[in-house]
Structure 1
Amino acid sequence: MTTTMAKRWRTSRPAALPLAAPVAVLALLMSPQCRADWSITPSVDLRGTYSDNVKLEADQLARGQFITDLAPSLSIANHGPRLKLTAAFTTHLYAYSNQRLDGTNSSQRQLAANARARLVEDLLFFDATAAIAQQAISAFGPQVANNGYAGTNRAEVSTWRLSPYLAHRFGSTATAELRYARDSVKSGNAGLGDSIGNTVSTSISSGAAFRTIGWGLQASHQNLDSTRGGKSTADAASARLSWRVSESLRLNANGGYDKYDYKALEGATAGPSYSIGLAWAPSLRTQVQASAGKRYFGDSYAFEATHRSRHSVWSINYNDAVTTTRGQFLQPVAVDTAALLNGLFSATISDPVARQQAVDAYIRSNALPATQIQNTNAFSNRYFLQKQFRASAAFNTARTVTLFSLNATKRNALSIRQAAIGLPGNSRSELNDNTKQASAAVSLNYKMSQRSGATLMVSKTRTESLTTGQRDDQLLLNLGMTRQLQQKLKGAIELRRARGNALTLGGRTYRENALTASLSYQL
């Protein structure tokens, strides 16, 4: 059962950013320009679920229970001219009909916060992000879904990033930026450990005065200190030239140098880079960018294309990069449900604030996940080369909204294996360090009437170890129905079926069938 009580109001009292923020940001919040733009929504959810395999174990070990989930939450938003902020925090408290089993959760937290502040006009700015979420430890075994009570193969990962920066436009000649960023990743997992990163970056690029020939320079230096991986640094510098062939076509050339100090399995950890590419924008609704070149690890390619029509949004993306598990947690690459819907609703809602509110309301009313299915960012202390392809599409009609997403990821370890006590695969020869993953998902929402709707979500994931040959398949099916019973009262029911390879008993099959009933009441 889900009960939601929400209260929204405009307040003239200032509030502080989530987590710690500089005094300058607090002063901004006190300014008259920001005072009238706050929106605060407290709520509490109560949900009842019966699961016939609460621990997501192999079939012969499955045990069922009824779980009650009490989830108070708080959402804060500001859309003022100098501050953009969204933050949502939820705590889930679980109670079980029988004694709680080892490997299940008594509680969990969720946080998603983003802030961008303009402190001094055309000079000083500040960005901040923070997140808390359940993440899968291994790419093999049960994955994180709408089953927060299950503790198998997951850990709570918390991240934050604070970034003050200077940015200035020198008339129509150039735009320059100098940025400092400090970030943190904590997992509560002894094998992955905790880490702190400090990055300094600078860039300068040509302005409108350089209409035909454009240019740009950028450089960055990062220091990383990890309790498991030790200390490391990464440096990058590049230069760019571009030539506008026509109003819709621009050719690009890039050259630079990358340097890492990880202990490599083989080959170099530094070297020059170069690429050539193009940017094509035949219309305001269609954009294509592509490049090909070489980096110290070999050939490198990038491609991005987006297209938007009145009733559809399309996106295709491919890239390769040297990265880490912690780096992926700080820069998630999942297909964002809100971003898809935002593009879809832009044809009918031009105001960005009103459109964002409509997107949030649609996600809440139809119980859609924050992201579409994504490949697992398995815990590892190694640097790896990641090649990733993503495609997504969204369609709407008078009664339906349909979302599609495809993901394919290949990871190959570049650095030697660090101490990995507590990490999956430690006793199974680098199970998670050299992998291929592919996933597909579809979500269909059907508006049966003005007061009723139904949502069907299906996702399939396949993971293969390039080292051991082990293969893992996961299938998730969700069917839900909602009905507005009264003006402020909504009822819903959801049926979920999950099937995949369990971590126990040699990866034998597990199955879960779960039924959830809910009531939502809003003040």
Structure 2
Amino acid sequence: MVTTTSRLLAPLAALAALACCWPAAAAEWRVTPTLRLREGYSDNLALAPPARARAEFSSEIAPGLAVQAQGPRLRLTLDYSLQRLDYSRSPSRLNHQLAAVGHAEPLTDWLFVDGQASISQQNVSAFGPQQSDPAQFGGNSSTVRSISLSPYLKHHFRGLADAELRHTYQASGSGALLRGRSQQTALRLVGERRAGGWNWEAALNRRRDDGAGPAPVAMRDATLTLRLALLPRLSWFASAGWEGSDYQALEGAPGGRHWSSGLSWTPSSRGSVAASVGRRYFGNTYSLDVQQQMRHLFLGLSYSEDITTSQQQFQRLPPAELGNFLYQLWAGRIPDPLLRIQVINAFLRYAQLQGPNAGNVNYFSHNYFLQKQWNLSALHAMPKSTLALGLSGTRRDAQTRSAIDSPLLGPGELGQQERTRQTGLHAGWAWRMSARNNLNVNAGYAIATALDTGRRDRSGTLALGLSRQLRPKLGASVDLRHSWHSSNAGGGYRENGAAAALSILF
């Protein structure tokens, strides 16, 4: 019991540090206890092949807590629930769900603190059964806990530069399956714009990863960037530097000189385009970031390449395009910032709209990967309906030997995740039928390919949900879902489920 409790409290440490800062007293706090009751039925909750599929009922009770704090020197959002699942033919389960992000400013214009904590159920592998509902249990998911605490000094030196010195501690893991922690120190200087429209930026980074492999890994980087305004809204930038790592790479030393150059264009306050080409020790690199926001429409297109790990990806904040766009779009309709955030979070929760990375699995691995990722997303929001579309692709190439994953995978699966390609498509539509009734439809399709073994898995989901606000603090919902999976390695399944739920605010 002590171990379970400590694992639960650990992800809260980062946010507790923010809440204990003395500026918290000046913030406006809203603490809302919640309770969710849900009854469900599925013809294949275990996501088993047709010959072994069996029908089963499930019951869920999930008490929770929603916290919002907004002040001049503190911002905090926290959603936590303790989910107990009971089954008619299978053992009970207990899940924790946590999503928390915070920012504090203990010393005005000098000292800042960022924090993040999460507990969620994640698919272990991109191959095999893919869990799409918390009640499912296909043997390919595990609880992942992560924390991040980042104090930093930031100040503007008039006539010289903006300076930021940041230290970041991160930890993530899933019991004995995957554990890792890292510490990073970064210094960043951004010079003031000079006559002629140019400025400079210098960055020094040192990172140490521990627990992600047989030995700690150190990573270092030094970069100098110059920017020059060619036109009022068009800029050219170029960077050069040196980087080095000491992980055991498959080919050559993982380090050396690097450079990049590109253009940045901001045609308006609502649109931007940035593109670059460059060279690093693993080859040529390219990047692209396009964003366009209109009155009711948000469009985004991005491409990036970098060396990363599963643990680093767990620390990334979820895609915020949907929430950010709605926050600005609904400013006139809901002037109160705290109330607006709560309404948006509730809307995204019942609508189950997802970000552009939906369908791409951050599978468990101790490897260092070269990850190439692109995303295309669109969000169209009207007063009574919201449509979200996302198309994404991710390719990972292992930079270290697959034997490092022997504690995670069986002997026949070690080469399966060395080189993978994933493609995902998601579409979601939410319709506000009336002041109390809402309808949402979601569909997703994903393909995962092991480039070395030729294995290809396909997964699909289709969900329909209807919710009604019975009273100001009481809501009801009914949802239907269909999920399927196929693979040229066998193990395909189909699942149909239905559930009814009550959500209570206190």
- TM-score, normalising length: structure 2: 0.92
Indicate whether 1:117 and 2:101 are aligned: no
Q: Which residue of 2 aligns with 1:70?
A: 61
> Equivalent of 2:21, from 9, 18, 28?
28
> Equivalent of 2:43, from 35, 52, 67?
52
1:276-309 deviation digits (Å, cap 9, x = unpaired): 1111101011111111111111110110011111
CA distance in 1, matches of 2:115, 2:367: 27
> Equivalent of 1:92, from 83, 90, 95?
83
Q: Which residue of 2 aligns with 1:457?
A: 442
Which amino acid in structure 1 is aligned with residue 253 of structure 2? A
Q: Which residue of 2 aligns with 1:440?
A: 425
1:367-414 deviation digits (Å, cap 9, x = unpaired): 556886240111111111000001111112343210011110011111
Change beyond 3 A, Cα 1:204–1:147? same
2:35–2:504 contact (8 Å) kept in structure 1:
no
Query: How far did 1:187 drift?
Result: 1.2
Change beyond 3 A, Cα 1:452–1:25? closer
Which amino acid in structure 1 is aligned with residue 161 of structure 2? A
1:268–1:297 contact (8 Å) kept in structure 2:
no
1:90–1:110 contact (8 Å) kept in structure 2:
yes
Query: For structure 1, which runs of at least 5 residues remain unmatched after alignment?
Result: 1-15
2:360–2:422 contact (8 Å) kept in structure 1:
yes
> Equivalent of 1:518, from 490, 498, 501?
501
Q: CA RMSD in A?
A: 2.5
Query: How far did 1:65 drift?
Result: 0.9
Query: How far did 1:26 drift?
Result: 6.0
Q: Which residue of 1 aligns with 2:190?
A: 205
1:380–1:433 contact (8 Å) kept in structure 2:
no
2:205–2:222 contact (8 Å) kept in structure 1:
yes
> Equivalent of 1:389, from 355, 366, 374?
374
Q: Which stretch shifts more, 464-473 or 257-266?
A: 257-266
Change beyond 3 A, Cα 1:485–1:32? closer
1:194–1:228 contact (8 Å) kept in structure 2:
no
Which amino acid in structure 1 is aligned with residue 368 of structure 2? Y
Change beyond 3 A, Cα 1:24–1:381? closer
Q: Which residue of 2 aligns with 1:271?
A: 256
Q: Which residue of 2 aligns with 1:80?
A: 71
CA distance in 2, matches of 1:293, 1:227: 28
SS of residue paired to 1:19:
helix
1:353-372 deviation digits (Å, cap 9, x = unpaired): 45423312322454556886
Q: Which residue of 2 aligns with 1:507?
A: 490
Q: Which residue of 2 aligns with 1:7?
A: none
Change beyond 3 A, Cα 1:235–1:444? same
Which amino acid in structure 2 is aligned with residue 33 of structure 1? A
> Equivalent of 2:131, from 144, 158, 161?
144
Q: Which residue of 2 aligns with 1:327?
A: 312
1:418-475 deviation digits (Å, cap 9, x = unpaired): 4434423642342122100000000011222333221110000001001101000000
CA distance in 2, matches of 1:135, 1:23: 24
CA distance in 1, matches of 2:433, 2:179: 48
Query: How far did 1:336 drift?
Result: 5.6
Which amino acid in structure 2 is aligned with residue 255 of structure 1? A
Indicate whether 1:338 and 2:303 are aligned: no
SS of residue paired to 1:357:
helix
CA distance in 2, matches of 1:142, 1:315: 30
> Equivalent of 1:40, from 3, 13, 31?
31
Query: How far did 1:132 drift?
Result: 0.9
CA distance in 2, matches of 1:45, 1:154: 22
SS of residue paired to 1:20:
helix
CA distance in 2, matches of 1:241, 1:41: 48
SS of residue paired to 2:327:
helix
CA distance in 2, matches of 1:130, 1:473: 31
Which amino acid in structure 1 is aligned with residue 134 of structure 2? N
1:92-145 deviation digits (Å, cap 9, x = unpaired): 101112342xxxx61111111111111111111111111111111111012232
SS of residue paired to 1:184:
strand
Q: Which residue of 1 aligns with 2:6?
A: none
CA distance in 2, matches of 1:466, 1:242: 40
Query: How far did 1:246 drift?
Result: 2.0
Which amino acid in structure 2 is aligned with residue 107 of structure 1? L
Question: Identity of paired residues, percent?
Answer: 32
> Equivalent of 2:94, from 94, 107, 113?
107
CA distance in 1, matches of 2:20, 2:384: 47
- TM-score, normalising length: structure 1: 0.89
1:123–1:167 contact (8 Å) kept in structure 2:
yes
Q: Which residue of 2 aligns with 1:10?
A: none
Q: How does 1:74-473 map to 2 (within 5 A)?
A: 74-100=65-91, 106-190=93-177, 193-208=178-193, 212-226=197-211, 228-332=213-317, 334=319, 337-342=322-327, 344-345=329-330, 352-366=337-351, 368=353, 373-424=358-409, 426-473=411-458
Change beyond 3 A, Cα 1:26–1:173? same
Q: Which residue of 1 aligns with 2:3?
A: none
Q: Which residue of 2 aligns with 1:6?
A: none
Q: Which residue of 2 aligns with 1:9?
A: none
CA distance in 2, matches of 1:141, 1:90: 28
CA distance in 2, matches of 1:347, 1:275: 41
**Equivalent pairs, count:** 498
Change beyond 3 A, Cα 1:352–1:328? same
